[in-house]
Amino acid sequence: MNIETTNIVFSFYFPKNALLDLKQKSILTTFEFIIKNYICFMSHDYSLYKYFNGEEKPPYANENEDYRNLFWYIESIHFNNSQSNSEFHQKLIEELENYLETTQPNENNPLTDVSIPIEKRALIMYVDLMIGKWRPYDGDLIYKY
């Protein structure tokens, strides 16, 4: 297998930004790099999400599950943004902390509920913002989340 063929084969299985130029590195080093990135790529933590578990398409096909498709889509966007920008979720947490400084705790507001981890509350805030952006007349959908 020559270098060009190897590059084509591995670029099919791995994201482009996870590959080294095979012409600049030895084959052994390149394989080590690919294996490490493959393990990293396959071991994502989806525990933050309620609907998204790494699928390429929403698993909810029933018309009655429209809100689940919406939540899945929003969570997948959050996941992709978090993967491409390591500070994305941290900025949401900072915005939530700013909100908490100016808001009194309320038992009906999950954003002020300290029993929910702040990472999850930041995701809830993101989901609420996206519902407000995409479906402004369906603001009560967040209560199904």
Map out the domains of the chain as residue ranges.
3-42, 63-144
| Cβ neighbours of 75 (radius 10 Å) | 23
| CA gap 76, 20 in Å, rounded | 27
Q: How many residues does the chain have?
A: 145
- Does the global pTM surpass 0.85? no
pLDDT at 11 over 80: no
Distant-in-sequence contacts of 2-11, Cβ < 8 A, 24+ apart: 6/30, 10/34
How distant, in Å, are the alpha carbons of 29, 53, 60 from that of 15? 18, 19, 26
Tens of pLDDT, residues 50-76:
999 999 888 887 766 688 889 999 999
pLDDT value of residue 9: 41
Enumerate residues 6+ apart whose C-beta is below 8 A from 46.
Answer: 52, 53, 54, 79
